Structure 1
Amino acid sequence: MKGFKDFIMRGNLIELAVAFIMAGAFAKVVEAFITIVMDLLGKLGGTPDFSSYKPGGVHVGAFLTVLVSFLVLAFVVYFAMVKPYEAAKARFAKPADAEDTELSLLAEIRDELRAGRRL
């Protein structure tokens, strides 16, 4: 029983559970936004649901509805999550130039010592 408790209380599992809960809540927000966008598209095109659209008798309307929903979802996820994450990551990242300079200086010292020259 102790092993199971240790497994459950590991940080990764707790973080994953929190991520799933937040993703479920965020999905509801995105669904509401998609509904708004589909209604706006419906005002422009006449109907917010393209499922009745059948050019030449081919039922492509359901596909178009899902495609528009996917594109709106991708747009929201990119601009609400990916872009801010990348900006925060870049803002708090260590500058790589300092490491490269230090590493190259140490390599130079090593090479001089191997060559038998005194500094």
Structure 2
Amino acid sequence: MINGFKNFLLRGNVVDLAVAVVIGAAFTAIVNSFVSDILTPFIAAIGGRPDFSALTLRIGGGEIKYGLFLNALISFLMVAAVIYFLVVRPYEKISSRFARQEESVMRDCPECLSEIPRAAARCSQCTAQVTPVL
């Protein structure tokens, strides 16, 4: 019973996931600091109001604190933008440079437009003779 648990914990996927969670938590702190300490004051300097938490709407005896929702929404959008522009876009550019362009092993038959292997001399669908592409 303990052996099975030990094997489960030492399996590659579990260790990789644990490392990803720890790095993700550390990265979250960096992104949140960037948003709250740099972007939000910058937006406040331009727009004049960094905090919407005081905005409320009174209906009867209740109070709707829509300002807190606006703060959370703006924070989410800024975090998403930081992640996209500082992580996703650069990663896509780097990975596209190193990605190999794989040649397709299939092509279209000129007669019936079905998909056939590039090296085929005859279409398997319409039996038309085609020139093999080597």
In structure 1, the residue matched to 2:94 is: 88
| Cα distance in 1 for residues equivalent to 2:48 and 2:94 | 41
Q: Which has the higher helix share?
A: 1
In structure 2, the residue matched to 1:72 is: 78
**Corresponding position: 1:32 with 2:33:** yes
CA shift for structure 1 position 105: 2.8
In structure 2, the residue matched to 1:5 is: 6
CA RMSD of aligned residues (A): 2.8
| Cα distance in 2 for residues equivalent to 1:99 and 1:4 | 44
From 33, 48, 67, the equivalent of 1:46 is: 48
CA shift for structure 1 position 61: 1.5
In structure 2, the residue matched to 1:20 is: 21
- TM-score by structure 1 length? 0.74
Distance 1:110 1:19, change over 3 A: farther
Structure 2 residue matching 1:3: 3-state secondary structure: helix
| Cα distance in 1 for residues equivalent to 2:121 and 2:44 | 69
The share of aligned pairs that are identical, in percent, is 37
| Cα distance in 1 for residues equivalent to 2:79 and 2:122 | 54
- TM-score by structure 2 length? 0.67
Identify the structure with bigger relative contact order (alpha carbons < 8 Å, sequence gap 6+). 1
Specify every segment of 5 or more residues in structure 1 that has no aligned partner in the other structure, as ranges. none
Q: Which has the higher strand share?
A: 2
In structure 1, the residue matched to 2:110 is: none
CA shift for structure 1 position 17: 0.5
Give the length in aligned residue pairs: 112
Specify every segment of 5 or more residues in structure 2 that has no aligned partner in the other structure, as ranges. 108-115, 128-134
